[in-house]
Amino acid sequence: MLRAAMTGFAGRAVAFLLALSLATPAWARPVGYAGGWILNADTGDGGSNVEVMYTPAARVAVGVRAEHNRPLDHDFAGAALNLVVFRHNAPDSQANLYLTGAAGVATGRYVVPTALTGPLSIHAAHLAAINGLAPGPVLRFRRAAGSLGAQADWESRRFLVLAEARGMTIDTQGSTLMYRGRVGVAPYVAESGALHTWLILQAEHNDFAKRDITVTPLVRLFKGTTLVEVGSSLQGRLLATVWLYF
């Protein structure tokens, strides 16, 4: 039985490595190979998140997600679902469209400005606070929440382009939106199994952040089944990402 299990795992691993050798080298996919797992953790200007996903079928990944929204200082934890809704493979490039979603619970706190009275959502309070109204009592909340997003990308062995949008709604508290775009170039074309390097420029907008758009140059390193990204925004905020596929 143990031998059979090892043989099955080895077969999946060989199939995965073969798929990688045929794919473009810039991959950071929210859906992995059938029967595989993904661990994704990142931190940046908008906050941080950890996601653990299992891929039961080629175009579906299910798992759990936990994240912290830095501008609004609230947390979310819940179940997650990622789908491949379109994929086009060309001889030297690949295009993808993903849908991502999550449902769970959001918790946090917010400060009510003293000039405001009556029921107030966290987002209204935050807007009032950043517009200079004096702070008042701190209120805490725990509400049902959900998110929905879309990611489109195109990449070759030399270039990549990515666009992403994601929104989250918290019961009685309001909604937030995040937009992100990326362009990247590989300074050299590496062989399969070697270290791949990408230079990427990212622009991101998060509702209620201090800046309308945050620009972050970063470096992506990818080898085997591990991908790491490190960068710093123009304002000095660290961006770090790790993807593990197994």
DSSP string for 200-236: EEEEEEETT-SSS-EEEEEEEEEETTEEEEEEE-TT-
Per-residue pLDDT, 128: 60
Give the model's confidence band at 8: pLDDT under 50 very low, under 70 low, under 90 confident, else very high.
low
Per-residue pLDDT, 127: 59
Question: DSSP alpha helices (H): ranges in 30-160?
Answer: 122-130
Backbone angles phi, psi at 11, to 5 degrees: -65, -40
Q: Which two tokens stand for residue 166?
A: 């994601």
For residues 119 and 34, the model is more confident at 34
Backbone angles phi, psi at 72, to 5 degrees: -100, -5
The whole-angstrom separation of Cα 82 and Cα 104 is 15
Q: What is the pLDDT of residues 214-242, one digit of tens each?
A: 999 999 999 988 999 999 999 899 999 99
Q: Write out the E strands in the chain.
A: 37-44, 47-57, 60-69, 74-90, 93-113, 135-156, 159-170, 174-185, 196-206, 214-223, 226-232, 238-245
Provide the whole-model pTM. Answer: 0.81
The burial of 41, by beta-carbon neighbours within 10 Å (0-12 exposed, 13-18 middle, 19 or more buried), is given as middle
4 has a pLDDT exceeding 60: no
Give how many domains the chain has, as a whole number. Answer: 1
Domain that includes residue 95, residue range? 2-245
Give the model's confidence band at 176: pLDDT under 50 very low, under 70 low, under 90 confident, else very high.
confident
CA 145 to chain centroid, in Å, comes to 17
Per-residue pLDDT, 6: 38
DSSP, res 120: -
191 has a pLDDT exceeding 50: yes
For residues 118 and 89, the model is more confident at 89
16 has a pLDDT exceeding 80: no
CATH of the domain at 36: 2.40.160.40
Q: What is the pLDDT of residues 61-95, one digit of tens each?
A: 999 999 998 877 889 999 999 999 999 999 889 99
Where b means 16+ CB within 10 Å and e means fewer, 53-64 reads bebeeeeebebe
Q: What is the pLDDT of residues 149-173, one digit of tens each?
A: 999 999 999 999 999 999 999 887 7
